[in-house]
Amino acid sequence: MADGSDRVTEEAVSTIRVAGLVGSLRQGSYNRALLRAAMALQPEGMEITDVDLRSLPLFDGDLEQAGENDEIRAFKARIAAADALLFVTPEYNYSIPGVLKNAIDWGSRPSGQGPLRQKPVAIMGCAAGAAGTRRAQLHLRSICAALDLWDLKKPEITLGGAAALFDAEGTLTDDETREQIRVFLEGFQGWIRRLLA
């Protein structure tokens, strides 16, 4: 599916580089803890890194036209260098948080040429409520379709009741969830390999 112009083949990739984007800025965020758990459980041949979204300004067409600042350029460079993306999102008001949408907006620019385009993507998320993050993930999949991102459909991680899954330090303590993440990441790794081959 890849056009080959800025893609690496499976043979050329010893380690798949995955940029993790968390839609929460809160230090004690369950979703940041979920990304840390994924980083600890990443399969051999995959390297997940946490891309900080805190310093990104709000998307502004005037700022873009005047010349992007160092934070925007650094963010785009990290996205461009990644083979794939892992979105980790809470659910705010039945949708994704503004911080994640803002990062996606910057990464999609210039239109049709931004570093987000044609990347394999996986989505995971957790919430304190029982409903989890299904609705937010559904909205995020619509955005992926608009931006020609190749999102993994199954397996899904849409966890509810997050407070029972992590301890006070934000360490994942639930064995069933840990196994779920392991299977999810193995599926994501296979998805990336197929798309970039």
**What 3 state SS string does 3-62 have?**
CCCCCCCCCCCCCEEEEEEECCCCCCCHHHHHHHHHHHHCCCCEEEEECCCCCCCCCCHH
Residue 101: pLDDT over 60:
yes
Residue 55: pLDDT over 80:
yes
The half-sphere exposure of 44 on its side-chain side, counting CA atoms within 13 A, is 0
Residue 44: pLDDT over 50:
yes
Mean of per-residue pLDDT scores for the chain = 93
Q: Between these two residues, 6 and 90, which has the higher pLDDT value?
A: 90
Query: What integer pLDDT is reported at residue 197 of this predicted model?
Result: 84
CATH code for position 162: 3.40.50.360
Q: In total, how many domains does the chain have?
A: 1
The proportion of the chain whose per-residue pLDDT surpasses 90, expressed as a percent, equals 88
Residue 5 in any domain: the answer is no
pLDDT in tens, 169-182: 999 999 999 999 99
Residue 7 in any domain: the answer is no
Residue 177 in any domain: the answer is yes
Query: What integer pLDDT is reported at residue 4 of this predicted model?
Result: 45
Give the Cα separation of 122 and 134 in Å (integer): 14
Domain, as residue range, for 60: 16-196
